[in-house]
Amino acid sequence: MATALVDMYSKCGCVESALSVFESNVDKDAGTWNAMISGVVLNGDAGKSLELFHQMDASGTKPNETMFVAVLTACTHAKMVQQGLWLFEEMRGTYGVAPRMEHYACVINLLSRAGMVEEAEKFMEEKMGGLAAGDANVWGALLNACRIHKNIRVGNRQWKKLVDMGVTDCGTHVLTHNINREAGLDAEANKVRSRMKKKPGCSIIEVDNEVEEFLADDHSHSQAQEMCKMLNSILKMGTLERF
């Protein structure tokens, strides 16, 4: 019950109430600590989350995988790079918790947000190997950092690796396209754009229990000409595009 209350108060932004319930609970387990630490992280207090983490460690409660995600996230938002890297190393070395994809993604995000794009790339290559191939969050964090910090070289290098591995998606294509376009490299941006598999927009309407689907730039419908003629007849403003 105490853990549920801590979680509820935290998600409502009532951190003081959550702390009051937490501190009054004399029998704190890992779930209770995790709820409180995650709660203060959610409300943007990175310093308090790390303080609670050290209190939990001193109490003899062993941190679990979820708790490390919370504190690494706190370090990311506060740009506490060295603290975050230290916690990542302590996971396995001191606490015997094997890092999972979520923890690697947190470190990539931690380095990327701090503008340490080259270091994030090196971490991915040395620590993760091929683990990142199927995780969109990891690649997204790195490519977005390349865009923000205008690191075209790393962005294009990572995108080409994704292409070679065959794991690109529309998100990574768009990010890489924007990296090059914003840098004025139109030829490279167009090269990325040409690899996108665009899906046409569509609209669906139901009339008299019959469903009709219309695709963008598709005039194959049996009444397409009649519909376009009708729509053109109601376009009165010369600035509007005709069908």
So what CATH class is 1-95?
Answer: mainly alpha
- Predicted TM-score of the model (pTM): 0.68
pLDDT digits (tens, 9 = 90+) for 54-66: 888 888 888 888 8
Query: Taking the CB of residue 104, how many other CB atoms lie within 10 A of it?
Result: 21
Residue 18 or 239, more confident: 18
Dist CA 216 CA 220 (whole Å)? 11
CA distances from 65 to 87, 109, 152 (A): 12, 17, 34
C-beta separation of 99 from 69 below 8 A: no
pLDDT digits (tens, 9 = 90+) for 154-206: 888 877 877 777 666 667 777 788 888 887 888 888 887 777 655 556 677 77
Surface-to-core class of residue 210, CB atoms within 10 Å of its CB (0-12 exposed, 13-18 middle, 19+ buried) = exposed
C-beta separation of 155 from 179 below 8 A: yes
pLDDT for the residue 82: 92
pLDDT for the residue 212: 74
Sequence-ordered list of residues with C-beta below 8 angstroms from that of 214, at least 6 positions apart, any chain: 202, 203, 204, 205, 221
Residue 128 has pLDDT above 60, yes or no: yes
